[in-house]
Chain A
Amino acid sequence: MTHVGWLKLAIFPACLVPLARLFWKGATANLGANPIEAITHSTGDWTLIFLLVTLAITPLRKLTGQLWLIGLRRMIGLFAFFYGCLHFLTFIWLDQGFDVHSMIKDVYKRPFITLGFTAFVLLVPLAVTSTRKMIQRLGGRRWQWLHRLIYVSATAAIVHFTWAMKKDIHRPIEYGIVLGVLLGYRLVVWATSAVAAKQKRTAVTAGVPAD
């Protein structure tokens, strides 16, 4: 096995620790006075953390030159989706008790739920197309465009987090700053490469001798 393979083998169970801990605390009645709220917050928190870690991999790879890092991205991204599913399930089952009527009203009436729902739904096509086969089928370029939906999803998730707070928004702001840096990095890379490409084009045009 490659060293990425070994690393993945180690990271996989680590990614399950937050869930295991919830089960552990649930089984020992240690989730506090409002266990459902505790589960909602924890799964939501970890969804965001995994989204941000996923988004950190490309900048990290480019900055450090450690190309193998990309090998971790799919797994971490799928964990973001996994915790997103748990968060969503907590909402529809534990919080709303599968009361479809009230849920539809909530999604329609309450922007913070609408945004959370949007953030989650946007992750679905990414999870579905995360296999090697799907990458080939879509073609690298199209696949990459599709997977930029994660930028929208992560942004929606952070606004959802902010609007869910009563007053103290220091936490969503911290997450937002991290997201801002990660997306800002991409913007800078994109802008500089665009400028470089333009300069190259100009240089090439200028270099062609007139007849």
Chain B
Amino acid sequence: MKANGKSMKMNRRRFLASFFKGAACIAAVTSLPRLAFAGWNEKAFKAETLEGALSSKYPGLEVVDSSSVKLKAPAIAENGAVVPVSVKTDLPDVKTISLFVEKNPSPLAATFHLTPVNVADVSIRIRMGETSNLIAVVESGGKLHRVQQEVKVTIGGCGG
């Protein structure tokens, strides 16, 4: 009986050990895509107002207008489906750069996550449904540095 009990324990121990090893493997495998993709802020992208998108994306961060952020976009976009936009800044320690189109059905267009090796200079082509303010914010030093520009759109880019 005694011997039996001992081997039972061993079995349980062995079983538990292999169980945890297995669990660790599964955890490692499922966390892999997380490493490649830090996640998509669905709430911010689905927000329908500029304020909503901004506060879901950057809760509690102070927004200041900044002349250190350079936003390059056309004053008049003939085709709202393809509006080239560039954002550049000399601010130190830039964590993220986000682009918002105030009057788009979902104002948040994109967020760029920078690493210390990045140079804060990004470009993208976005859609604009109608003439609207284009807002770029740069997250640096615990603040949001904002710059905005109006882009006139002659043909909307949101289909329909």
Do they bind each other?
Answer: no
Which residues of chain B have a CB within 8 Å of any CB of chain A?
A: none
